[in-house]
Amino acid sequence: MNKWMKALGGMVAVLHISAFAGSYAYGTEVISDTFEITGARVAGSLLGGSTAELGGVTWTASASCILGTDGTDDYVTSNTNTNVAGYVPFSFGAYDGYGDVATISLDVSPIGASGTWTALVFGRNGVSPTTNGVAWLSISKNTGTWSLMTYTTTLETGNLTDVASYSATGFNDYTLSYDQSNRTIVGVTINGVDVLSQDYVLSTTSDVVAAGFFKQYSGSTDQTKFNSFGVSVIPELSTVSLLIGGVSLVMTGLLRRRSRG
């Protein structure tokens, strides 16, 4: 088989892996921020008003939401005893050409007092979860649980320790995937492991206008850190399946022509 046939085969393989890897934590990253300490971003400076490293969007954040570093990791944390929220503008319409499903990804190191929880949020008018959380994922290190929510309604809960790679002392990677066209939450992963038992169709009619994180403060020992924030957009699996089918038909036709030749 010559090089171009191998390339087509590789294309189908890549599409297949991306579409059916068990989660929506893939796609085109349209917004990302590692909160790297560089240039105007110095340790102790405010996250609010700064620009994400990819996507050109500006952060809106609590006044206590600051950048920090421990010499190994750069991150966002809080410098006062208050709740903390940070978000960027995000709407599905702005990325219409990329797909219908969006995924928030965030690394969280929740080292805090009893009762502290953090959240990834697709929100309306900000990311205060119970008020604006169209779809959000709550993470509590202290209870060892995660909860999938829409506003004040709990859709599903699970144990963090069910994921073998979960660390109670370091950063863990979380993702939340939402299909606004069908008003459906379609994925939750912890360290790459899909933990959601089913998709959840929501009754909300509100459109998402923000994506970000939230931390509920509950004690002076809270030292929660956030790292590697991103938003990716991909087509629905049905769309990708059609694309795979189309490429497969092209390959079949080319192979038949080659065999007759």
Give 193-212 as a DSSP string: EE--SS-EE----PPP-EEE
| Whole-Å CA distances, 197 to 24, 86, 187 | 14, 29, 9
Place of tokens 């909860």: 147
Structural domains in the chain plus CATH codes: 28-236 (2.60.120.200)
Tokens of 71: 């010499």
d(CA 199, CA 178): 10
d(CA 253, CA 116): 58
Q: State the alpha helices, DSSP H only, in 118-170.
A: 129-132
d(CA 150, CA 122): 9
HSE-up of residue 260 (Cα within 13 Å, Cβ side): 5
Burial (CB < 10 A; 0-12, 13-18, 19+), residue 191, is middle
Nearest to 188 by CA among 31, 30, 24: 24
Per-residue pLDDT of the chain (261 residues; tens, 9 = 90+): 444 444 444 433 333 333 333 455 568 999 999 999 999 899 999 999 999 999 999 999 999 899 999 999 999 998 777 788 999 999 999 998 888 999 999 999 876 555 678 999 999 988 899 999 999 999 998 889 999 999 999 999 999 999 999 998 889 999 999 999 999 999 999 999 999 999 999 999 999 999 999 998 755 556 789 999 999 999 865 444 444 444 444 444 544 555 555
* Sign of the dihedral through C-alpha 148, 150, 152, 156: negative
What is the reported pLDDT for 9?
A: 43
| Whole-Å CA distances, 139 to 111, 157, 166, 186, 252 | 12, 10, 12, 18, 47
Number of other residues whose CB lies within 10 A of the CB of residue 116: 22
pTM: 0.82
What is the reported pLDDT for 256?
A: 52
DSSP single-letter state for residue 57: P
Q: Which amino acid is at 99?
A: G
Asked if residue 205 lies in contact with residue 120, where contact means CB atoms within 8 angstroms, the answer is no
Number of other residues whose CB lies within 10 A of the CB of residue 161: 10
β-strand partners of 76: 67, 226
Secondary structure (3-state) at 23: coil
Asked if residue 116 lies in contact with residue 216, where contact means CB atoms within 8 angstroms, the answer is yes
Cα separation of the two ends of the chain: 14
